[in-house]
Amino acid sequence: TSQTYQVKAINRLHLIDIMCCLRDTDLFISGGGGLLQDSTGKGWSILYYLGLILIAKIIKVPVMIYAQGIGPVNKQINKKLIKWILNKVDLITVRDNPSKELLENLGVAKPSIYVNSDPVFLLKKKNINNVINSHPFIRGLINSDSRPLIGISVREYKGNGLDSKRIFAQAADYLIENYKAKIIFFPFKFDEDVHISKEIVSLMKNKAEVLKIKLEPEELLSVLSRLSLVVGVRLHSIIFSSMANIPFIAFNYDPKVKH
């Protein structure tokens, strides 16, 4: 983060460093993305992000919740903590109406809640030639020889076992055999998504590509704009597709995809 965007970065687990930094700030921004939810992972992340907000308020730093997708929130303790802590913040913006409705239903009433867009819509794609010059591997990746280029974005999630991976493999084989498509798996959370993508490719009968280099978001948006279709589990693969005017098929594994 420091090298890419020329900003100061702090280890998220170093509490003392975080508190020292907060003392010198004029505003603490929490977001964007799906930070306040307990449906994925082990459910601890919501306590971490709420804890940061609470620390900022204890230190008397103004807090803004920025463009977050709220929920699902299943545990009663987390619902109570959201109500207690978010009623102390100074401004809340969320990325969809269901998030606003959820906060209101949980009893968040003091700060105004505004609905705006996901921050990713502010991205500007890089010139594809510049991306190719920086990453020559991309040239061969998007060279389809007039075949349809179909991108697939997958991720691990609850219930995503071997059977679902086989289904993705069969679907990719079907697209290759019936439409002569070239299949490319695009990782959005790099290490995790590359791993599951390779698993799916290993189950396929036909050859498929996996993007094995980590691109900046602006570069990834540029590459995706060259595709014919995107099949996406990751929310931001769907958002990127819409930004690039590329047809997409979304998998509703989480309410945020539907919203």
* Per-residue pLDDT tens over the stretch 201-228: 999 999 999 998 999 999 999 999 999 9
What confidence tier does 173 reach under pLDDT thresholds 50, 70, 90?
very high
What is the per-residue burial (b if ≥16 Cβ within 10 Å, else e) of 22-50?
Answer: beeeeebebbbbbbbbbbeeeeeebeebb
Tokens at 118, concatenated: 């996901």
What confidence tier does 238 reach under pLDDT thresholds 50, 70, 90?
very high
Task: Supply the pLDDT for residue 158.
Answer: 64
Task: Supply the pLDDT for residue 161.
Answer: 65
Asked if pLDDT for residue 6 goes beyond 90, the answer is no
User: Tokens 């930094």 label which residue?
Assistant: 21
Torsion angle, alpha carbons of 8, 14, 20, 21, to 10: 30
Tokens at 15, concatenated: 């509490």
136 CB neighbour count, 10 Å cutoff? 9
d(CA 255, CA 39): 10
**What share of the chain has pLDDT > 90, as a percent?**
66
Task: Supply the pLDDT for residue 176.
Answer: 97
d(CA 235, CA 33): 10
- CA nearest neighbour of 95 among 199, 236, 244: 236
Task: State pLDDT tens for residues 32-57.
Answer: 888 999 887 677 899 999 999 999 99
Task: Supply the pLDDT for residue 5.
Answer: 76
Q: Are strands 182-185 and 149-153 parallel, antiparallel or unpaired?
A: parallel
- Please provide the average confidence, as pLDDT, over all residues in the chain: 91
Task: State pLDDT tens for residues 63-74.
Answer: 999 999 999 999
What confidence tier does 249 reach under pLDDT thresholds 50, 70, 90?
very high
pLDDT higher at 6 or 158: 6
Task: State pLDDT tens for residues 88-144.
Answer: 999 999 999 999 999 999 999 988 899 998 888 888 888 988 998 889 889 888 887
What confidence tier does 80 reach under pLDDT thresholds 50, 70, 90?
very high
d(CA 208, CA 222): 20
Q: What is the largest CA-CA distance in the chain?
A: 61
d(CA 22, CA 80): 25
Tokens at 39, concatenated: 């449906």
Asked if pLDDT for residue 82 goes beyond 90, the answer is yes
Task: Supply the pLDDT for residue 43.
Answer: 74
What confidence tier does 259 reach under pLDDT thresholds 50, 70, 90?
low
Q: What domains can be seen in the chain, in order of their start residue?
A: 2-119 (no CATH), 123-258 (3.40.50.2000)
d(CA 235, CA 238): 5
Task: Supply the pLDDT for residue 88.
Answer: 96
Tokens at 149, concatenated: 């280029």
d(CA 211, CA 198): 10
Tokens at 111, concatenated: 């700060």
Extended strands (E) in 18-111: 28-33, 63-68, 91-94
d(CA 69, CA 65): 10
Asked if pLDDT for residue 255 goes beyond 70, the answer is no
d(CA 225, CA 55): 41
d(CA 76, CA 67): 24
